[in-house]
Structure 1
Amino acid sequence: MKMVFRWFGENNDTVTLEQIKQIPGVEGIVWALHDIPAGEEWPLDKIMEVKAKAEQAGFHIQVVESVNIHEDIKLGLPSRDLYIDNYKKTIASLAKAGVKVICYNFMPVFDWTRTELRKPLEDGSTALFFEQSRTANLDLFEMVKRINENPDLSMPGWEPERLERVTELFEAYRNVTEEHLWDNLKYFLDEIIPTAAANDIRMAIHPDDPPWSIFGLPRIMTGQENLRRFLKLHDSPYNGITLCSGSLGANPNNDIIAMVHEFADRIPFAHIRNVRVYENGDFIETSHRTQDGTVDISGIVQAFHQNNFTGFCRPDHGRHLWNEQSRPGYGLYDRALGIMYLWGLWDAYSKNKNS
């Protein structure tokens, strides 16, 4: 298991590379060019600037999250070929910088969805929260405004330039079904995977978060059966999964340990985090510790260990601790604690295996 840490870039993150360097076992940063709109080609010189900055601090940049998919690709519009061509050019440029994995998602309009960004927990920390009943009557534009309340720290998947087109995009998806989305995803994969293979970069799709339809939009990366179908769309080791225990774990019916065992050789990247799911379907993000949530984090790490996982892993969203002012879910302290919990589990399983 290779530990990495998501970093949003210089002057775009409250966490510094110097701070990340002090977390044991972190060898690389998970990054992106967040100022490049979806669909545009990433300039090689900007990629190399990130590489130089990371290497100066002792990190590699082998994992990118995300090269966002333009909505025209998801919608299957004729203009998609232009954006797919830009995507291919970006893949080639990333390969020149030593990138090995590209994490992406195929969620219409939005990335992850939460109804509250700093819900208090019993211990006084706060965390991202999803209240099931509120999505039925939630003012979408009020939620957009709240999520982008700090323009200096834009939220991944909720970039202002994308959200300016919310009304237009909802209208465009009015008649798009899940099967349409599957067809458009296959078209994208058939175009992209050969380029990824030629450049030795593994594409790793992220599950939908949460793993069910939101605001009537179709979502298809929701559970084991659909992930199995996805991998068969283009059967190649370069077509893989970013296994996110938090996203999938929001649905207690998802057996994530079984997914690790079944898909192990097609998981180049893992997000490991915990959520506490309530009986009414609400969920809140907790510490990574197994006992604090509903997801069997210790069992998931054990499953990765049993499969001799050599891919990349990062702690995902963390709580906000000790009055830290940070991008919601992406502070330093709880993610650092999460890394140490994951390493503790991994080391214990290694010791037992060797004893």
Structure 2
Amino acid sequence: MQMGFRWFGETNDTVSLDQIRQIPGVTGIVWSLHDVPAGEEWPMEKMVHVRDQAARAGLNIDVVESVNVHEDIKLGLPSRTRYIENYKRTIEKLAQVGVKVICYNFMPIFDWLRTDLHKEMEDGSTALFYEKSKIHDIDPLELVRRINANSELTMPGWEPERLAHLTSLFEAYKGITEEHLWDHLAYFLNEIVPVAAKHGIRMAIHPDDPPWPVFGLPRIITSQANLRRFLKLHDSPYNGITLCSGSLGANPDNDIVSMIHEFKDRIPFAHIRNVRVYDNGDFIETSHRTADGTVDIAGIVQAYHDIGYTGYARPDHGRHLWGEVCRPGYGLYDRALGIMYLWGVWDGAARLSAHGKQVAP
């Protein structure tokens, strides 16, 4: 397992490369060009700049997260041709700077969605929180009006510069069903996976977060059955999954360990994090420790060890600890603690394996 750490850039992150390089076992950053709009071709000089920064810190840039997919591709509009061609050229350039894996998602309009970015926990730390009643059966356009009237009501994907476009985006998605989205995803894969394969890059789709429809928008990368269907859309080792235990784990019916064993050859990238799911469907992101949440993180790391996983992983979201002021979910302290927990489980599994012992279920 190759451990990475997500980094948003020198002007957009409170965590420095010098700090990342001091976390034991971290060999690379997981990065993106966050200032390039979705659908536009990435400039080579910016990619080279990130590569050279990372190299000076002794880190690789093997994994990109994310090269965002333009909404016109998800909607299946004629204009998708232009954006897909830009995506192909970006893949070609990323290969030239050494990228091995591209993480992306196919969620309409939003990336991950939470209702509180700093929910206080019992120990005084804060974390990302999802309150189902605030999302379920709420008219999203009414929520846009509420956000405009209340600056304290904020959620990822609802930044002020995007609000003006949300109304037209929701209108565009009227009538788009899950089957439409599957068709549009298949078209996208058939266009870009051959290009990725030619350049030795593995594409890795991220599950929908949370893994169910929101605001009436279809979501399809949500379960083991749907991941199985996804992989059959374009059956290639270069068409893979970013297996995120936190996203999928928000639905307790999802068996992450089973997914690891079934899809082991198609997981170039793993997000490993824990969530605590409540009986009413709410969930909060916890420490990585198995006992603190609902997801069996120890079992997940054991499963990766059992399959001989050599792909990339990162600790994903963390809590906000010790007064740290940081990007929500992306501070230094809890993600570094999470890495050490993951390595501890991994080392324990390796030790037992070396002595011919099995971990009890």
TM-score class, shorter? over 0.9
Counterpart for residue 143 of structure 2? 140
1:140 is displaced (CA, Å) by 2.9
Query: Is 1:63 aligned with 2:63?
Result: yes
Which whole-Å CA distance do the structure 1 matches of 2:19 and 2:274 have between them? Answer: 23
Counterpart for residue 152 of structure 1? none
Change (3 A) 1:147 1:7: farther
Counterpart for residue 246 of structure 1? 246
Unaligned stretches of 5+ residues in structure 1 = 150-154
1:308 is displaced (CA, Å) by 0.2
Q: How do 1:70-89 and structure 2 match up within 5 A?
A: 70-89=70-89
Counterpart for residue 359 of structure 2? none
Which whole-Å CA distance do the structure 2 matches of 1:245 and 1:167 have between them? Answer: 32
Which whole-Å CA distance do the structure 1 matches of 2:175 and 2:204 have between them? Answer: 27
1:21 is displaced (CA, Å) by 1.1
Which whole-Å CA distance do the structure 2 matches of 1:206 and 1:105 have between them? Answer: 5
Deviations 1:136-195 (A, max 9, x none): 34753245855769xxxxx6x556654431111000001100000000000000000000
The 8 Å contact of residues 211 and 223 in structure 1, kept in 2 or not, is answered as: yes
Counterpart for residue 50 of structure 2? 50
Which whole-Å CA distance do the structure 2 matches of 1:332 and 1:140 have between them? Answer: 32
The 8 Å contact of residues 248 and 254 in structure 1, kept in 2 or not, is answered as: yes
The 8 Å contact of residues 301 and 342 in structure 1, kept in 2 or not, is answered as: yes
Counterpart for residue 208 of structure 1? 208
Counterpart for residue 199 of structure 2? 199
SS in 2 for 1:165: helix
1:301 partner letter: V
Q: How do 1:99-178 and structure 2 match up within 5 A?
A: 99-136=99-136, 137=138, 140-141=143-144, 142=146, 146=152, 162-178=162-178
Change (3 A) 1:71 1:159: farther
Counterpart for residue 332 of structure 1? 332
Q: TM-score, normalised by structure 2?
A: 0.94
Deviations 1:181-240 (A, max 9, x none): 000000000000000000100000000000000000000000000000000000000000
SS in 2 for 1:118: strand
Which whole-Å CA distance do the structure 1 matches of 2:220 and 2:87 have between them? Answer: 22
1:122 partner letter: E
The 8 Å contact of residues 115 and 154 in structure 2, kept in 1 or not, is answered as: no
Deviations 1:266-289 (A, max 9, x none): 000000000000000000000000
Consecutive aligned runs of 4 or more in structure 1 exceeding 4 Å deviation: 142-149, 157-163
Which whole-Å CA distance do the structure 2 matches of 1:23 and 1:321 have between them? Answer: 17
Which whole-Å CA distance do the structure 1 matches of 2:251 and 2:232 have between them? Answer: 23
Aligned length: 349
The 8 Å contact of residues 14 and 327 in structure 1, kept in 2 or not, is answered as: yes
Change (3 A) 1:168 1:146: farther
1:92 partner letter: E
Which whole-Å CA distance do the structure 1 matches of 2:166 and 2:12 have between them? Answer: 24
The 8 Å contact of residues 101 and 268 in structure 1, kept in 2 or not, is answered as: yes
Counterpart for residue 233 of structure 1? 233
Counterpart for residue 183 of structure 1? 183
Which whole-Å CA distance do the structure 2 matches of 1:58 and 1:192 have between them? Answer: 31
Query: Is 1:37 aligned with 2:37?
Result: yes
Which whole-Å CA distance do the structure 1 matches of 2:188 and 2:199 have between them? Answer: 17
When structure 1 is superposed on structure 2, of 328-337 and 133-142 the one drifting more is 133-142
Which whole-Å CA distance do the structure 2 matches of 1:295 and 1:162 have between them? Answer: 33
The 8 Å contact of residues 29 and 59 in structure 2, kept in 1 or not, is answered as: yes
Which whole-Å CA distance do the structure 2 matches of 1:103 and 1:161 have between them? Answer: 25
Unaligned stretches of 5+ residues in structure 2 = 356-361
2:183 partner letter: D
The 8 Å contact of residues 115 and 143 in structure 1, kept in 2 or not, is answered as: no
Change (3 A) 1:210 1:123: same
2:246 partner letter: G
Which whole-Å CA distance do the structure 2 matches of 1:85 and 1:146 have between them? Answer: 39
The 8 Å contact of residues 148 and 160 in structure 1, kept in 2 or not, is answered as: no
Which whole-Å CA distance do the structure 2 matches of 1:338 and 1:164 have between them? Answer: 38
Which whole-Å CA distance do the structure 2 matches of 1:253 and 1:315 have between them? Answer: 22
Which whole-Å CA distance do the structure 2 matches of 1:258 and 1:64 have between them? Answer: 26
Change (3 A) 1:73 1:162: farther
1:140 partner letter: L
